[in-house]
A = this chain, B = another copy of it.
Amino acid sequence: MSDFSAPDFSRLSVNSATTKKWTLAEVVDGCVRAGIPSIGPWRDIVADTGLDKASKLIKDAGLRVSSLCRGGFLTAADTEGQAAALADNRAAILEAVALDTRELFLVVGGLAPGEKDVVAARQRVADRLEDLVPFAVEHGVRLVLEPLHPMYAADRALISTLGQALDLAAPYDTRAVGVAVDTFHVWWDPELKQQIQRAGREGRIASYQVCDFNLPIAADALLSRGMMGDGVIDFATIGTWVRDAGYKGDIEVEIFNQEIWDADGDDVLASIKHRYATLVLPFA
List chain A positions with a Cβ less than 8 A from chain B: 111, 116-119, 122, 149-151, 153-155, 158-161, 163-164, 187-190, 213, 215-217, 219, 221, 231-234, 237
The answer to whether A213 touches B154 (Cβ under 8 A) is: yes
Kindly report how many copies of this chain are found in the complex they form together.
Answer: 2
B164 contacts A215, C-beta separation under 8 Å = no
Give the docked Cα–Cα distance between A153 and B187 (Å): 10
Specify which of A189, A190, A231, A237 lies most central, judged by the most chain B CB atoms within 10 Å of its CB.
A190
Q: How far is the CB of A205 from chain B (nearest CB, A)?
A: 20
**A117–chain B nearest beta-carbon distance, Å:** 6
With A111-B232, A150-B149, A150-B150 as known contacts, state yes or no: A118 contacts B155, CB within 8 Å.
no
Measured CB to CB, the closest approach of chain B to A135, in angstroms, equals 26
Q: Is the CB of A154 within 8 A of B116?
A: no
5 A-B pairs with least C-beta separation? A153-B188, A219-B219, A116-B234, A154-B232, A150-B188
**What would 28 A/B residue contacts be, using CB atoms closer than 8 Å?**
A111-B232, A116-B232, A116-B234, A117-B234, A117-B237, A118-B187, A118-B188, A118-B234, A119-B237, A122-B190, A149-B150, A150-B150, A150-B188, A150-B189, A153-B188, A154-B188, A154-B215, A154-B231, A154-B232, A160-B188, A160-B189, A161-B190, A163-B190, A164-B190, A216-B221, A217-B217, A217-B221, A219-B219
